[in-house]
Structure 1
Amino acid sequence: MLLNISYTEWVGYLASAVLIISFLMKNLSTLRIINSIGAIIFVIYGVMLNISWPIIITNVFILFANIYYLYFNQRKVNS
Structure 2
Amino acid sequence: MEFFGVSLVEWIGYVAMATVLVSFLMKSVNKLRIVNSLGCLLFVLYGLLLQPLSKPIIITNIAIFSINLYYLLQKKA
The 5-angstrom pairing of residues 32-71 of structure 1 reads 32-50=33-51, 51-71=53-73
Runs of 4 or more consecutive aligned structure 1 residues displaced over 3 Å after TM superposition? none
**TM-score calculated relative to the size of structure 2:** 0.94
**TM-score calculated relative to the size of structure 1:** 0.92
Q: Which has the higher strand share?
A: 2
Helix, strand or coil at the partner of 2:16: helix
- Equivalent pairs: percent with the same residue? 47
Unaligned stretches of 5+ residues in structure 2 = none
Look up the equivalent residue of 2:65 and give its one-letter code: L
Unaligned stretches of 5+ residues in structure 1 = none
Post-superposition shift, 1:74?
1.4
Partner of 1:13: 14
Rg bigger for which structure?
Answer: 1
Q: Cα RMSD (Å) of the superposition?
A: 0.6
Q: Encode CA deviations 1:27-77: one digit per residue, 9 max, x unaligned.
A: 0000000000000000000001032100000000000000000111112xx
